[in-house]
Amino acid sequence: MKADVSVVAAASAPGVRLDVWLWAARFFKTRALAKKAIEGGKVELNEAAGKPSKAVHVGDRLRLARGEERFEIEVVVLGDQRGPVALAQSLYREAEASRNARVEAAERRRLARVMRSHRPSPTSARGASSLRWAILMRCRAGFPESSG
């Protein structure tokens, strides 16, 4: 019977506004940005669409998208004041799968950026151009021109 009372007490305990908690946990620079993300559907609280004024409690699960990053976290501590990064990171626990997926996606973006930034030197560009020209000439030599 005592367990039922504590569950009710925990459920009715005052929480912190979702936009304030996200700001305090340093997911967003300002409360206005947190509110905009929540209203834009980028934040889910316990698998339901969040509202900026919705109360967050210890044990709640959040899914949020910030740019290309996706987070799945559990609220560990309530906080309504922004503090140092170490303190902010102690407010939540990120799921291992979420962290691994985020690291992997960051690595893919980094590799894509490296591949896009590769620009051949003038010497190698001339070599590639002359190679293309030689292949074109061989192909033309192998096919007689059509008379017609």
CATH code for the domain in which residue 59 is found = 3.10.290.10
Assigned domain for 60 exists: yes
Q: Does a structural domain hold residue 124? A: no
Confidence label for 125 from pLDDT (cuts 50, 70 and 90): low
pLDDT tens-place string over residues 52-110: 999 999 999 999 999 888 999 999 999 999 999 999 999 999 999 999 999 998 888 88
Q: What would the pLDDT profile of 38-47 be if each residue is shown by its tens digit?
A: 999 999 999 9
* Residue 136 placed within a domain: no
Q: pLDDT category, 142, cuts 50, 70, 90?
A: low
Is 48 within the bounds of a domain? yes
The per-residue pLDDT for 144 is 55
Domain-located, residue 137: no
Please report the pLDDT score of residue 9 as a whole number.
39
Domain that holds residue 53: 2-119
Residue 55 lies in a domain: yes
Q: Distance between CA atoms of 40 and 67, rounded to whole angstroms? A: 12
Tell me, what's the pLDDT at 13?
65
The verdict on residue 80 lying in a domain is yes
User: Total domain count for the chain?
Assistant: 1
Query: Which pLDDT belongs to residue 118?
Result: 63
pTM greater than 0.75: no
Three-state SS annotation for the chain:
CHHHHHHHHHHHCCCEEHHHHHHHCCCCCCHHHHHHHHHCCCEEECCEECCCCCEECCCCEEEEEECCEEEEEEECCCCCCCCCHHHHHCCEEECHHHHHHHHHHHHHHHHHHHHHHCCCCHHHHHHHHHHHHHHHHHHHHHCCCCCC
Average pLDDT, the chain: 82
